[in-house]
Amino acid sequence: MNTLAIQTDIRVKNVLIHEDAFSVELMDGRTLTTPLAWFPRLLKANPEQLQKWEICGGGYGIHWEEIDEDISTEGLLRGAAAPQNQRQSLV
């Protein structure tokens, strides 16, 4: 029996910032789009701060230095929003 092995590469290729969401393009061709509201620090950041992201964690994360936010591709794939305590303290 033959099985098809799909190659996945969940490292970050690019990040696109939209008015109320952000999209993460992965190396394997998928694009994940997530509401900014899931991450209050991103939601409260100004457009210039949102554009100042960098790839971190060996390619598996995104870091915003000015707003102290780190998001992993693994967390995005799981549908994980910011931890509850972060959401409460910033709202």
**CA torsion sign, 43 to 47 to 48 to 53?**
positive
Separation between Cα atoms, residue 64 and residue 50, nearest integer Å? 7
pLDDT above 50 (res 6) = yes
Kindly report, residue by residue over 27-76, the tens digit of the pLDDT.
999 999 999 999 999 999 999 999 999 999 999 999 999 999 999 999 99
Question: Could you tell me the pTM of the whole model?
Answer: 0.84
Q: Is residue 86 part of a domain?
A: yes
The boundaries of the domain holding residue 46 are 12-90
Phi, psi (deg, nearest 5) at residue 64: -115, 100
Other Cβ atoms within 10 Å of 39 Cβ, number: 21
Q: Is residue 5 part of a domain?
A: no
Q: Is residue 29 part of a domain?
A: yes
> Residues, the chain, total?
91
Those residues with Cβ within 8 angstroms of residue 29's Cβ, 6 or more apart along the chain or in another chain: none
The average pLDDT across 20-27 equals 98
